Amino acid sequence: MSAPTTDQLPVVVIGAGPVGLAAAAHLAGRGLEPLVLEAGPTAGTAVREWSHVRLFSPWSEVVDPAAEKLLAPTGWVRPDGAAYPTGGDWAERYLQPLADILGRRVRYGATVTGVARAGRDRIVDADRTAQPLAVHVRTADGGEERISARAVIDASGTWSTPSPLGANGLPALGESAAADHVSYQVPDLKDPAVRARYAGKRTAVVGSGASAFTALAHLADLAKEEPGTHAVWILRRGIGADTFGGGEADQLPARGALGQRAKAAVEDGHASAVTGFRTEGIEQEGDRLVLVAEDGRRPNPVDEVIVLTGFRPDLSFLSEVRLGLDERLQAPTALAPLIDPNVHSCGTVYPHGVNELSHPEKDLYLVGMKSYGRAPTFLALTGYEQVRSISAALAGDQEAAERVELTLPETGVCGGAGLFDEPEQTEQQSDGCCSAPAARQR
């Protein structure tokens, strides 16, 4: 029996999150065979880790059209378009049903450990593009597998790689040693064990985006019930007129309200702000922790530290393919100028597709949050448009691939703030254009 040609091989999609599953739906709709590899045990594994956090986007903006076409014949009913789902709602009511429809096209417990061109490392030019891509996988039972693919769409997101505490982008001195008392996500205070960790304690919250706002608001609510609970808000910059977002003027009401809750936490004395603080180290003082700034300042000790300073892409398993990435944002070179958070909000990022997402390695694409590198301006709608365009290109429909089929809403009061739909944040920009403030997409 002859070996299959490259065109007969599956398109491997890395990650069964919102954009990865949307990619599979678009590929299937084009008559291409997707194979989704998910490291976790369920669809939306990473989304479930922030299941307690509510998105800023309503249901009408977080369901992909091609996915809905697959779901509709099963009797699936789209939730109320005006309602705002939590991460748990999104996973249970949309992502898992979509993965179930895709069936054997989705494999769980499959961790991608490497992607390369078959028989050629990144140096070799000879006959390179004629070879399939080779995807190396570690299975749930510890086994190893190599899958040949006609193309690879990496929708693995950034959830697994939170930015560290150090202001220079590297871990602060002592951060690893204090790991038992350092967290990188918004705490679920409805969980008794998590609640006990923060109740009656002083907690440093590091970050200036919507994730930090959420943590401050939750800790303020806890302080009303548990005396002694207090948040110390650590900011690299000062507090200005735009620190808490647009309030009632924000066209995303949920985001505006969240900023006002964080503001109230400070004004009511449940949180105190330490500004202009660039963390260099973290020291243990008995059973408590002391943050140390680059200028030598040492605020009073705290019991816990919540670091909400953004996320970054994991590029380690792509070391043998040829990526074209912006040196600053770690986003595709052609995309980076369009998403620079110093210039753009989510509503001013031009919809983009296969042309902006292509790399020197043919038929390899980073999509979703991962395509944005360290820029926090991502919308789920943008990710759905990305994979629509890429799927069209892989099917040979270049006209459809280059056609823009998305009009992004102008969200208002964004300025240069970081905005996204998979919850993420940076220290330098406020975050959360359309959704929850603390997630990393798998």
Dump pLDDT digits (tens) for 143-173. Answer: 999 999 999 999 999 999 999 999 999 999 9
Q: What is the pLDDT of residue 245?
A: 64
Asked whether the CA dihedral 60, 66, 69, 71 is positive or negative, the reply is negative
In this structure, the answer to whether residues 188 and 150 fall within a common structural domain is no
How does residue 258 score in pLDDT terms, banded at 50, 70 and 90?
confident
The answer to whether the beta carbons of residues 86 and 53 sit under 8 Å apart is yes
Give me the number of domains the chain comprises: 2
Q: What is the pLDDT of residue 247?
A: 56
In this structure, the answer to whether residues 140 and 41 fall within a common structural domain is yes
Comparing 210 with 307, the larger pLDDT belongs to 307
Q: What is the pLDDT of residue 389?
A: 97
**CATH code of 364's domain:** 3.50.50.60
Q: What is the pLDDT of residue 347?
A: 52
In this structure, the answer to whether residues 67 and 131 fall within a common structural domain is yes
Residue 171 placed within a domain: no
Residue 186 placed within a domain: yes
Mean pLDDT for 12-21 is: 98
Domain end point (choices 291, 307, 323): 307
In this structure, the answer to whether residues 393 and 329 fall within a common structural domain is yes
Mean pLDDT for 242-260 is: 64
pTM of the full structure: 0.89
Please say if the pLDDT value at position 46 is more than 50. Answer: yes
Q: What is the pLDDT of residue 250?
A: 53
Query: Strands 133-138, 111-117: parallel, antiparallel or unpaired by DSSP?
Result: antiparallel
| Domain range enclosing 115 | 6-160+311-402
How does residue 415 score in pLDDT terms, banded at 50, 70 and 90?
very low
CA distance 177 to 92: 36
Please say if the pLDDT value at position 190 is more than 80. Answer: yes
Residue 1 placed within a domain: no
Domain end point (choices 307, 337, 358): 307
CA distance 275 to 422: 27
Tally of residues, the chain: 442
How does residue 209 score in pLDDT terms, banded at 50, 70 and 90?
confident
Tell me the backbone φ, ψ of residue 153, rounded to 5 degrees: -115, 110
Q: What is the pLDDT of residue 422?
A: 36
In this structure, the answer to whether residues 251 and 349 fall within a common structural domain is no
CA distance 34 to 355: 21
Cα atoms in the Cβ-side hemisphere of radius 13 Å centred on 252: 30
Please say if the pLDDT value at position 186 is more than 90. Answer: yes
CA distance 19 to 382: 9
How does residue 174 score in pLDDT terms, banded at 50, 70 and 90?
very high
- Measured CA to CA in angstroms, residue 409 lies from 45, 47, 57, 187, 379 at distances of 28, 24, 11, 30, 10
Mean pLDDT check: name the lowest of 74-83, 336-345, 394-403, 426-435. Answer: 426-435
Average pLDDT along the chain: 88
Residue 174 placed within a domain: no
CA distance 245 to 44: 29
Q: What percent of the chain has pLDDT over 70?
A: 86
The answer to whether the beta carbons of residues 436 and 429 sit under 8 Å apart is no
How does residue 431 score in pLDDT terms, banded at 50, 70 and 90?
very low
| Amino acid (1-letter code) at residue 79 | P
Please say if the pLDDT value at position 409 is more than 50. Answer: yes
Instruction: Give the neighbor-by-neighbor strand order of the sheet with 304-307.
Output: 182-183, 304-307, 202-206, 230-234, 271-274
Other CB atoms within a 10 A radius of the CB of residue 320 amount to 16
For tokens 């000879």, the residue is 126
Q: At what angle do helices 380-394 and 18-29 cross, to 10 degrees?
A: 30
In this structure, the answer to whether residues 77 and 183 fall within a common structural domain is no
In this structure, the answer to whether residues 26 and 114 fall within a common structural domain is yes
In this structure, the answer to whether residues 324 and 354 fall within a common structural domain is yes
